[in-house]
């Protein structure tokens, strides 16, 4: 892994970038949704990169130089995720990769990469360690944001309380 502490460059980017989008396909879509939900609880302007409605080009067009795109894939690597990361990096979007090894094509275009072993007896790529990494990154961002993350969580809880009263 390239970065793991609460003061790491990756955590700093996830905490302070103007916009953060998270992208993964197939089973990595669940990781992208989990991370976007968790990070969105802590700070504004976080979402899964929504390619299902208007397409990846339109989703990337919403990002500016300096924004962050977190991508995740491992062997056999989803070609559309690789292309998305490559295009984003060429346009000045800072790419963070959650992938399986330093030889991953995602690692070659990413500013920061995390290498997650995923060998198992499961019939597909194991997601357990990827989910643990996501939780660790989210916890580190919450720690980095400090009171701001606590306030964001309290605000969300108050909205949930209000909505539950009206349902």
**Residue-wise DSSP of 3-44:** --STTSHHHHHHHH-S-EEEEE-TTHHHHHHHHHHHHHHHSS
Q: Output the six-digit token pair for 148.
A: 């701001």
Is the link from the previous residue into 76 a cis peptide, with omega within 30 of 0?
yes
- Please tell me the number of Cα atoms within 13 Å of 96 on its side-chain side: 26
Tens of pLDDT, residue by residue over 102-135, are 999 999 999 999 999 877 666 677 788 999 999 9
Average pLDDT over residues 88-101: 97
Decide: 74 and 118 in contact? Cβ < 8 Å: yes
pLDDT at position 35 is: 97
Cα 101 from Cα 116, distance rounded (Å): 7
Q: What is the pTM of this model?
A: 0.89
Average pLDDT over residues 39-51: 91
């Amino acid at each position: 892994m390239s970065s793991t502490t609460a003061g790491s460059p990756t955590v700093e980017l996830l905490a302070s970038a103007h916009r953060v989008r998270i992208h993964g396909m197939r089973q990595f879509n669940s990781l992208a949704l989990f991370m976007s939900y968790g990070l969105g609880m802590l700070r504004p302007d976080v979402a899964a990169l929504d390619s299902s409605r208007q397409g990846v080009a339109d989703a990337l067009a919403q990002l500016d130089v300096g924004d962050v795109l977190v991508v995740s894939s491992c062997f056999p690597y989803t070609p559309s995720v690789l292309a998305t990361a490559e295009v984003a990096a060429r346009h000045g979007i800072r790419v963070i990769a959650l992938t399986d090894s330093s030889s991953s094509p995602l690692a070659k275009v990413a500013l920061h990469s995390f290498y997650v072993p995923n060998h198992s007896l499961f019939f597909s790529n194991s997601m357990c360690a990827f989910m643990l990494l996501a939780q660790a990154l989210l916890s580190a961002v919450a720690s980095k944001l400090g009171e701001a993350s606590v306030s964001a969580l309290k605000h969300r809880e108050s909205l949930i309380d209000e909505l539950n009263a009206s349902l």
